[in-house]
A and B are shown apart, each in its own frame.
Chain A
C-alpha cells in the first residue's frame, strides 16, 4: 500500500524543514531530550523505522533503518532497481514541449542552465509544492516533457506519471534519476570531486560531478549545494569527514544536519528531485514520513493503463 508523506519539507521554510528532519521517526529508540532545546529532539515520532539502505558508512543497521516506510500502520517497500531498470530509464528522452501541447491543469517545466548561484536568492529558490510528472508524448517513442501538477489526482487524470513529490527542478529528468539510482550514496562521490581540498576547483568539480551521470543543470545545482555547504558548514564538516552518516540514535551527523538546515531548502527548490521525494533509499537514513513512495517503472506504469 502506498503511503503519502505526512508532512512536506517543501512548504514550510527552514523551520519546517527542521521539524521534519527531526521528525520523524523514531519510535525506534526514544529520542533523548536535548538540554539545549535542540529542535532535532522535540518532535513526536510517527514511524516505526528510518528509511534508507544502510551501508558501512551509515552508522545504524537494518534494525533501525530499512528501505521500507512504515508509518501510522501504512507500509510501502521500496523496490530494488536492477541494471535493466536503469537501462530502461535511458530509453526515455526529455524533449522540448511541442507547441500547443495540452497537459491539463499542469505547467510544463523545462530545466535550464543556472546563470546565477541560487544560494544568493534563497527566498526565491525555496521548495515548491506539487507533483513533478513525466508526461509521455504521443508518437515519440520514449519522448516526454516534465509537468508540475498541483495534486496527484490532476497528474493521473492528465495521463502523466508522477516521478517525485514537489515541483520539478533541474534534477527531475529521468537521466538524473538513473544517476540517483546508480549511486545509492552520492555524498562521497560528490565530496571526492575535490570539494574538501584547499582552493576552489570549480571547472574540475563540475566535470567530475557531471561524470557521475548528471546533466549540466543538475550538475550545477549539486555543485552549488556542495559549495554552499562547504562555506556555511565547512568547520563542522571537516571535523566530521570520517563520521558515519547517522548517529547511533538515528540522527544525522552534525555535517549532514548542517547541510540539511542551511543548504537543504534551496537544493530542494532548484533540484526538484531528492531521494526522499523520489522514494529512493540511500545510505543516509531519513525519517519515513519525509519519503514519497513512488516506483520508477515508467514503461510498466504506462502499459498497465
Chain B
C-alpha cells in the first residue's frame, strides 16, 4: 500500500471526526463501487484496494429551501432559500417571524429578513461543513402593546453542517448573534441598545 499523503490523513481525521463516512443522512456519498475504480474519487483505500473513505460527491442539487426550527429555541422560525454559486460558496436569504414566547419568556412578536453567505470547508455547496455570515434587520414589538417596539440590525456567524439525503436536507449549526438597534417605549422616545447571544440552527429542507 502506498503510504497516504498528509492531505489524505487530514481528510481521514476530518471524515472520521464528523462521522460522515458512516452517516449517509448527513452527506451525499456515492454508495456504489464507483470510487473503487475511480482514483480521483477515493481518499483512502484498504489493503485490497477497496476505497474506504470517498470524497463527497458534487451534489446534483444547487438549491435548498430550509425551514429553520432550531431558531424556535430563540422564539423565531425562519424560512430560507439557499443557492450554491460555486463548489465552495453558497448564498442565502430569508425571512423569519417571532411568533411566541421564547425561552427568554419575552412576549415579543416580530418580523425580520436576512441575507448571507456560506463558505464550505468540507464537501461541496450546498452540502458539507460550512462557516456562514449573515446580516439582517428585524422589527419586534410587545404582544398587545404595539407602542413598545424595537428595530435592530443583526449579524450572525455560524459553523454548521448540511447534509442531503435524497431530496431532503438537514442542517445543524451554532454560533453567535449580535444585534444593534433602538427600542421605543410609548411616547417616551427611544434609546439605543445591543444584544448578543448564542444562535442555534436546526433546519430541515427540500433540495432541488
Residues of A participating in the B interface, judged by any CB pair closer than 8 Å: 113-114, 192-194, 197-208, 210-211, 215-217, 219-220
Is there an interface contact between B188 and A113, defined as CB atoms closer than 8 Å? yes
Contact status A200-B106, CB under 8 Å: no
Q: B181-204 toward A: CB 8 Å interface, digit per residue (1/0)? A: 111011011010111111000000
In-complex Cβ contact of B197 among A113, A114, A201, A217 (8 A): A201
5 smallest A-B Cβ distances: which pairs? A199-B197, A216-B188, A194-B104, A202-B193, A216-B185
- In the assembled complex, which residues on chain A have CB atoms less than 8 Å from the CB atom of B149? 207
Query: Do A204 and B196 touch across chains, with their CB atoms under 8 A apart?
Result: no
Note all chain B residues with C-beta closer than 8 A to A113. Answer: 188-189, 191
A224 → B minimal CB distance (Å): 11
Known: A197-B104, A198-B197, A199-B197. A207 touches B188 (CB 8 A): no
Residues of B within 8 A of A (CB): 103-108, 140-142, 145, 148-150, 152, 179, 181-183, 185-186, 188-189, 191, 193-198
**Count, A-B residue pairs, CB within 8 A:** 86
Give the residue name and chain of the B residue nearest to A189 (CB): B105
Assembly CA distance A215 to B186 (angstroms): 8
Point out the residues of chain A lying under 8 angstroms from B141, CB to CB. 207
Residues of A within 8 A of B193 (CB): 202-203, 206
Contact A208 B106, CB 8 Å, known A113-B188, A203-B179, A203-B181:
yes
Neighbouring B residues of A208 by C-beta, 8 Å: 106-108, 142
Contacts of B148 in A (CB 8 A): 207, 210-211
Contacts of A207 in B (CB 8 A): 106, 108, 140-142, 148-150, 183, 185
Instruction: Give which listed residue, A198, A204, A219, contacts B106 with CB less than 8 A.
Output: A204
Instruction: Tell me, in angstroms, the Cα distance from A113 to B190 when the chains sit together.
Output: 9
CA–CA, A211 and B198, complex, Å: 24
**Contact of B191 with A193 in the complex, beta carbons under 8 Å:** no
Other than the known A208-B107, A210-B185, A219-B185, what 11 A-B pairs have Cβ atoms closer than 8 Å?
A: A114-B191, A199-B195, A199-B197, A201-B104, A204-B195, A207-B183, A207-B185, A210-B186, A215-B188, A216-B185, A217-B188
A262 to B108, CA, bound (A): 31
Are A215 and B104 closer than 8 Å at their CB atoms? no
Residue contact B194 to A203, C-beta cutoff 8 Å: yes
A192 contacts which chain B residues (CB < 8 A)?
A: 105
Which residue of A has the minimal Cβ distance to B176?
A199
